[in-house]
A and B are shown apart, each in its own frame.
Chain A
Amino acid sequence: MSGSTTRMTMIEAIRTAHDLAMERDDKVVVFGEDVGYFGGVFRCTAGLQKKYGSHRCFDAPINESGIVGAAIGMSTYGLKPVVEIQFADYVYPAYDQIVSEAARMRHRSGGQFTCPMVIRMPTGGGIFGGQTHSQSPEALFTHVSGLKVVVPSSPYDAKGLLLSAIDDPDPVIFLEPKRLYNGPFDGHHDRPVTPWKNHPLGEVPDGYETIPLGKAAIRREGSEVTILAYGTMVYVAEAAAKETGIDAEIIDLRTLLPLDIEAITESVKKTGRCVVIHEATRTSGFGAELSATVQEACFYHLEAPVLRVTGWDTPYPHAQEWAYFPGPDRVGRALREVMED
């Protein structure tokens, strides 16, 4: 890290990334529902319309397919749209445009038309969001060839990864864990929330500094077991490691597609054990891909089966939030179990 830094929340980091990208390249345009004048329901685009004008940052009709479809058209023209879907739970109307169009544009046109665009969406639970404000649909995107899928877990990463995503020549799904917008969260819902200003990853460089897509980060070095996590679950993993006393190596994947297979295999070959955790539902979730990848690449190094701690295979409930959310207790149990073998 070079140059000056500022303490900021993930929201501020995302807003700063937009600001820097828009300042640097007038092809960057930002739009979505409530994104313009109001600055976004989570304030991620606050002030941008005022600074760059309503041609560069504007409100959109409530039409996810329209937002993404229009952005695709703009990107094939040569602009770089950064659009927001207000909640990941509401991306489904745009699924056809994302899967059938954005993801395949370069391939089907022999490289004539491309979609350099970013689709941002707040994701994840832990906020009493119920069924349609808590989902983690990343597996619906990691299954699609042609997309890149990114999930930051801190202000530092959010800014660097978003700048990379905007600059990337391919369409990027950028999932922002809304539970982490204002501070890290380890699943201990009964304890006071800590703000980002008390966390080292809340310190963000002021300048245009990027974090490469496709590269994982080791959040905690360890020797006994590898935990593969992303988003909010990174902090749950940290809490579980601390509370169990198990010397876990925690890998924050950051980019799910393309996946940093090298970082994963290197770690699992070292530890011989692996626990995969995510908030999303279990069956055919991204954890299945991770588990299979580890099994294929590290089979002879494994001393125990790869375990998955995930959301249950149910819609995300309201009252039962903490029975659903894979908190540090459930992760801790899996860590102990994997160490028994």
Chain B
Amino acid sequence: MPDSKPLKLRIPEPGCRPGDQPDFSDFVIPRAGEARRPDVDAPAADIRDMAFSIVRVINKKGEAVGPWADALDADALRDGLRHMMTLRIFDERMLTAQRQGKTSFYMQHLGEEAVSCAFRMALEDGDMNFPTYRQAGLLIAGDYPLVDMMNQIYSNSKDPLKGRQLPIMYSSKEHGFFTISGNLGTQYIQAVGWAMASAIAGDTRIASAWIGDGATAESDFYSAMVFASTYNAPVILNIVNNQWAISTFQGFARGNAVTFAERGHGFGIPSLRVDGNDYLAVHAVAKWAAERARSGHGPTLIEHVTYRAGGHSTSDDPSAYRAKDEVSAWPLGDPIDRLKRHLIAIGEWSEERHTQAQAEIADTVRKAQKEAEKNGTLGSGSHPSPSAMFDDVYAEMPPHLRAQRQAGGH
């Protein structure tokens, strides 16, 4: 008999729990401007190091530094700030609306606003995003009407999805925003398929796939990686690593032990990490990956390193599983504050203008909300007709569904 000790199962534990002092001291953050900027046709093997670093542009003083500091003009930067502020205010109002019973459910983006807002501005109209439920910045930065977003959240008579979908599961083909599914990870491989189709058709449009850190454990993540790599699909594979999957810290998807970006290496996909709270960095990296895809160099994997500052959803209370002030210890700060500081640093913004913009955006969102509520909320007012649930199951309603609609009295 060998002298073996009993085996033990490892159950990963986050660094801190409620009551603990948050500690991100193990989290290695390169200085802004430090990461190199490879050519867009760089082979995966030549940039392996970038999966272990973080592309950052805005430094502590608010300056844009290093090779990824693209020349976004002041208007574009102010647009970016406005998009992020709009998303945050939109979130606040919808959270309140949920608590007031005007809708059943909401999910906020607090702390992650730069990821989707900056990314959208690097794409072209006609490109298709395959988002999760936490990239509404793609819609806001793409000028999708706030009223339509709210109509969907309220499931009211003007809901573009006719009351069939859970709030925030938006869909807008026109705005390059693929219909959101509740099933995690499914959209990742679909994005690759869409990109393959664009290549088959000889098109020039590209696709972007989105997934959270937790959902990278889903098998569709690996399906997407192998298909994207095998067929050299024009797709950007985004992982939004916000550290948390509901109550589960990223260690359960084997984050911490290895980076999420590193997973691209096994498939020969050029992979890098970006500071997800740095609007300029996200934008520059997205632009780089889009150019790669569009010029036929294939897929890129981007890990957006950020922090889920809010609860997972309106059904979640993070104080039950993580330290209360973990967000204030998060070393990459707040995306809105950081872009604001940068704009002020370059003399294109001021505290006064910011306060004024805050009020204007709040007013815009409030007006949109008023308009949406005229069309009804979940609790009151007008709703989509019950007969709408029988439509669109098929292109043409088959006899058995017609019979059921009739039996239901609709």
Contact = CB atoms under 8 A, between A and B. Distances in A.
A195 interface: no
B200 A79 contact: yes
B196 A108 contact: no
B189 interface: yes
A112 B179 contact: yes
Interface string B155-197: 0000011101100010111000011011100101111111111
Interface in A59-93: 60-61, 63, 65-66, 69-74, 76-79, 81, 93
Contacts of A113: 171, 173, 178-179
Given A55-B200, A70-B227, A73-B196, A108 B179 contact: yes
B361 interface: no
Contacts of B193: 69-74, 77, 81
Interface in A121-165: 145-146, 148
Given A63-B223, A96-B186, A261-B400, A108 B165 contact: yes
Contact of A69 (B189, B200, B400): B189
With a 10 A CB-CB cut-off, give which of B178, B194, B230 has the most chain A CB atoms: B194
B392 A110 contact: yes
Interface residues of B, number: 48
Contacts, number: 143
B401 to A, nearest CB: 8
B372 interface: no
Given A61-B227, A106-B394, A108-B181, A79 B171 contact: no
B149 interface: no
Contacts of A101: 181, 183, 186, 190
B169 A66 contact: no
Contact of B161 (A76, A109, A145): A109
B393 interface: yes
Nearest to A100: B183
Given A73-B189, A74-B196, A66 B392 contact: no
Interface string B345-380: 000000000000000000000000000000000000
Contact of A66 (B179, B227, B399): B227
Contact of A65 (B182, B189, B391): B189
Given A74-B196, A110-B162, A261 B181 contact: no
A264 to B, nearest CB: 12
Contacts of B227: 60-61, 63, 66, 70
A65 B171 CA distance: 23
Given A74-B194, A79-B197, A111 B392 contact: yes
Contact of B197 (A65, A74, A109, A145): A74
B58 to A, nearest CB: 35
Given A112-B173, A259-B400, A106 B189 contact: no
Contacts of A55: 200
Contact of B220 (A69, A74, A81, A108): A69
A171 to B, nearest CB: 10
Contacts of B179: 105, 108-109, 112-113
A259 to B, nearest CB: 7
B375 to A, nearest CB: 15
With a 10 A CB-CB cut-off, give which of A60, A63, A106, A108 has the most chain B CB atoms: A108
A176 interface: no
Given A74-B196, A77-B198, A258-B400, A170 B395 contact: yes
Contacts of A96: 183, 186, 220
A114 interface: yes
B207 interface: yes
Contact of A146 (B219, B222, B391, B394): B394
Interface string B207-237: 1000000000001101110110010000000
Given A77-B198, A96-B183, A101-B190, A65 B169 contact: no
Interface string B382-398: 00000000011111101
Nearest to A63: B223
Contacts of A93: 219
Given A100-B183, A261-B399, A110 B161 contact: yes
Given A66-B223, A69-B192, A107-B164, 15 more contacts: A60-B227, A65-B219, A65-B220, A66-B189, A66-B220, A69-B193, A72-B193, A73-B192, A96-B186, A101-B181, A109-B161, A109-B171, A109-B179, A112-B173, A146-B394
- By Cβ-Cβ distance, the 7 closest A-B pairs, closest first, are A73-B193, A70-B193, A66-B223, A69-B189, A258-B398, A77-B197, A109-B179
15 contacts: A63-B222, A63-B226, A65-B219, A69-B220, A73-B196, A74-B197, A97-B186, A97-B189, A107-B392, A108-B161, A108-B171, A108-B181, A145-B393, A170-B394, A214-B398
